[in-house]
């Protein structure tokens, strides 16, 4: 009999977390497992999942409790903290039990560390929980929230899956912890893909070198860093272009609400707009894109200039397509890039070094090819087939352990 697995996803965009989850679900043996995905919010990912004939439910319209280095509630986010605290309580008491009774899953797979309410709710109904940790926890101010979330995951998870050694630190000594890097489907990302048509559609001259940043407008992912480096680069290489793909496009109008004005993201957006002055003819903002393989194919180098270290799917996708990469010298990026072999690891504060490495790659095709070839040679460890076998074994272990426990009780 098939085992029903309930996947719970927290985000609104079409980023690395929903794509990684999609690849995981597609790799499952559908004769053994019945996947169901519950979304907390409306998301571009919902349509993508439906296109893949994956059962989707929701949205629940409840917020999770984020406390990662990518996003956590600082002192000036008091209103957000109150909202998420309220939604956490409501999920534990009402929404969680309601959805679990309706779906009746054999197992729950949480797609981020912030879904603590769902872990607690699942435990109340004795449903085993596989808990994915996709980003490092934030230290916060006093470390209280980090300690609480680490303890909740340790207590209520049946299995913990950090996506890197760096993310695994709070649980590295626990027997229930298994480190699994995010996977890439080699049938979607491979060196023979041609991006020339897309390059033409983006109105970039065929001979112009292209730097690709798949991070949208994000302070944590380093949008300002790559724009600063690119601004210096075009003084030496005036035909170069920068593609920024991802969410949070520049504003199309100037009207601003008071609430927006108080948002740090609004001020960062203003900062990016100023940095882009006199560069608009050389920077292409694509918005969220489903043509990531083609974007990588048309690029000379893929960059990930993060100011906060976290797993970067574009780095491993580039490796599968034999493209050189440049990333910030931060963990866990140092688990994905071999410095001076598959690309370069550079301090996010050293704009001059970023500029020099960008120029070094785009003016030296043989260097770019050697870096890309080396990356491709080690990319197999990220292939979805290897990952699928490990996930399947982990699921079997989780369900078997729960079945044996129920028999003894």
Residue with tokens 């907390």: 40
Residue with tokens 């559908």: 30
3-class DSSP assignment, residue 112: coil
Contact partners, residue 111, CB within 8 Å, separation at least 6: 7, 8, 9, 10, 17, 18, 21, 132, 134
Report CA torsion sign: 294, 45, 185, 381: positive
Give percent of the chain above pLDDT 70: 94
Q: How confident is the model at residue 84 (pLDDT cuts 50, 70, 90)?
A: very high
Q: How confident is the model at residue 15 (pLDDT cuts 50, 70, 90)?
A: confident
Instruction: Report the pLDDT value the prediction gives residue 115, as an integer from 0 to 100.
Output: 97
Q: How confident is the model at residue 263 (pLDDT cuts 50, 70, 90)?
A: low
Exposure string over 348-367, b if 16+ CB within 10 A, otherwise e: beebebbbbbbbebbeeeee
Q: Give pLDDT tens digits for 276-308.
A: 988 989 999 998 888 999 999 999 999 999 998
Q: How confident is the model at residue 256 (pLDDT cuts 50, 70, 90)?
A: low
Mean pLDDT of the 176-185 span: 94
Instruction: Report the pLDDT value the prediction gives residue 407, as an integer from 0 to 100.
Output: 45
Contact partners, residue 331, CB within 8 Å, separation at least 6: 164, 165, 166, 309
Q: Which domains does the chain have, with CATH numbers?
A: 3-183+383-400 (3.40.50.2000), 196-381 (3.40.50.2000)
Tokens standing for residue 338:
């071999």
Task: Tell which wins on pLDDT, 336 or 252.
Answer: 336
Residue-averaged pLDDT of the chain:
91
- What is the 8-class DSSP label of residue 322? T
Exposure string over 280-300, b if 16+ CB within 10 A, otherwise e: eebbbbbeeeebbbbbbbbbb
Instruction: Report the pLDDT value the prediction gives residue 252, as an integer from 0 to 100.
Output: 43
Instruction: Report the pLDDT value the prediction gives residue 246, as an integer from 0 to 100.
Output: 87
pLDDT beyond 70 at 105: yes
pLDDT beyond 50 at 408: no
CA dihedral 83, 86, 92, 93 (to 10 degrees): -140
pTM: 0.83
Instruction: Report the pLDDT value the prediction gives residue 409, as an integer from 0 to 100.
Output: 44
CA distance 11 to 114: 11
Contact partners, residue 324, CB within 8 Å, separation at least 6: 300, 301, 302, 318, 342, 343, 361, 367, 368, 371, 372, 375
CA distance 186 to 188: 5
Exposure string over 7-28, b if 16+ CB within 10 A, otherwise e: bbbbbbbbbbbbbbbbbbbebb
For residue 183, how far is the Cα from the chain centroid? 11
Q: Give pLDDT tens digits for 301-336.
A: 999 999 988 889 999 999 999 999 999 999 999 999
Q: How confident is the model at residue 11 (pLDDT cuts 50, 70, 90)?
A: confident
Q: Give pLDDT tens digits for 364-399.
A: 999 999 999 999 999 998 999 889 999 999 999 999
Mean pLDDT of the 27-35 span: 94
Report CA torsion sign: 32, 158, 87, 268: negative
Exposure string over 225-249, b if 16+ CB within 10 A, otherwise e: bbbbbbbbbbeebeebbbbbbbebe
Instruction: Report the pLDDT value the prediction gives residue 267, as an integer from 0 to 100.
Output: 83
Report CA torsion sign: 319, 54, 61, 161: negative
Instruction: Report the pLDDT value the prediction gives residue 386, as an integer from 0 to 100.
Output: 87
Mean pLDDT of the 113-135 span: 96
Instruction: Report the pLDDT value the prediction gives residue 262, as an integer from 0 to 100.
Output: 54
Q: How confident is the model at residue 44 (pLDDT cuts 50, 70, 90)?
A: confident
Q: How confident is the model at residue 258 (pLDDT cuts 50, 70, 90)?
A: low
Of 170-179, 265-274, 318-327, the poorest mean pLDDT is in: 265-274
Q: How confident is the model at residue 268 (pLDDT cuts 50, 70, 90)?
A: confident
CA nearest to 283, candidates 218, 221, 222, 216: 216
């Amino acid at each position: 009999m098939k085992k029903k697995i309930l996947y719970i996803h927290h985000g609104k965009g079409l980023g690395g977390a929903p794509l990684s989850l999609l690849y995981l679900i597609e790799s499952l043996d559908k004769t053994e497992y019945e996947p169901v995905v519950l979304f907390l919010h409306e998301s571009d990912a919902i349509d993508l999942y439906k296109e893949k004939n994956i059962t989707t439910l929701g949205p629940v319209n409840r917020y999770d409790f984020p406390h990662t280095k990518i996003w956590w509630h600082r002192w000036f986010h008091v209103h957000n903290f109150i909202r998420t605290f309220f939604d956490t309580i409501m999920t534990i008491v009402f929404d969680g039990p309601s959805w679990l009774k309706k779906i009746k899953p054999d197992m729950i797979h949480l797609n981020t560390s912030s879904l603590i309410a769902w872990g607690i709710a699942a435990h109340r109904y004795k449903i085993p929980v596989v808990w994915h940790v996709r980003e490092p926890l934030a230290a916060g101010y006093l470390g209280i929230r980090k300690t609480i979330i680490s303890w909740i995951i340790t207590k209520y998870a049946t299995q913990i899956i950090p996506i890197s050694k760096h993310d695994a630190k709070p649980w590295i000594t626990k027997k229930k912890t298994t480190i699994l890097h995010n996977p890439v489907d080699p049938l979607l990302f491979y060196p023979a893909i041609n991006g020339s048509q897309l390059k033409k559609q983006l109105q970039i001259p065929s001979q112009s070198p292209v730097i690709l940043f798949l991070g949208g407008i994000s302070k944590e992912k380093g949008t300002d860093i790559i724009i600063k480096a690119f601004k210096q680069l075009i003084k030496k290489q005036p035909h170069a272009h920068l593609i920024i793909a991802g969410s949070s496009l520049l504003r199309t109008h100037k009207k601003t609400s008071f609430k927006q004005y108080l948002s740090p993201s609004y001020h960062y957006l203003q900062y990016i707009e100023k940095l882009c002055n006199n560069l608009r003819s050389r920077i292409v903002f694509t918005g969220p894109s489903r043509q990531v393989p083609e974007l990588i194919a048309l690029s000379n180098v893929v960059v990930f200039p993060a100011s906060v270290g976290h797993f970067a799917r574009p780095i491993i996708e580039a490796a599968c397509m034999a493209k050189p990469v440049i990333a910030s010298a931060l963990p866990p990026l140092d688990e994905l890039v071999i410095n001076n072999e598959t690309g370069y690891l550079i301090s996010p504060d050293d704009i001059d070094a970023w500029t020099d490495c960008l120029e070094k790659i785009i003016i030296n095709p043989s260097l770019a090819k050697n870096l890309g070839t080396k990356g491709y040679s080690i990319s197999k460890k990220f292939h979805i087939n290897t990952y699928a076998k490990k996930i399947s074994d982990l699921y079997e272990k989780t369900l078997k352990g729960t079945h044996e426990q129920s028999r003894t009780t």
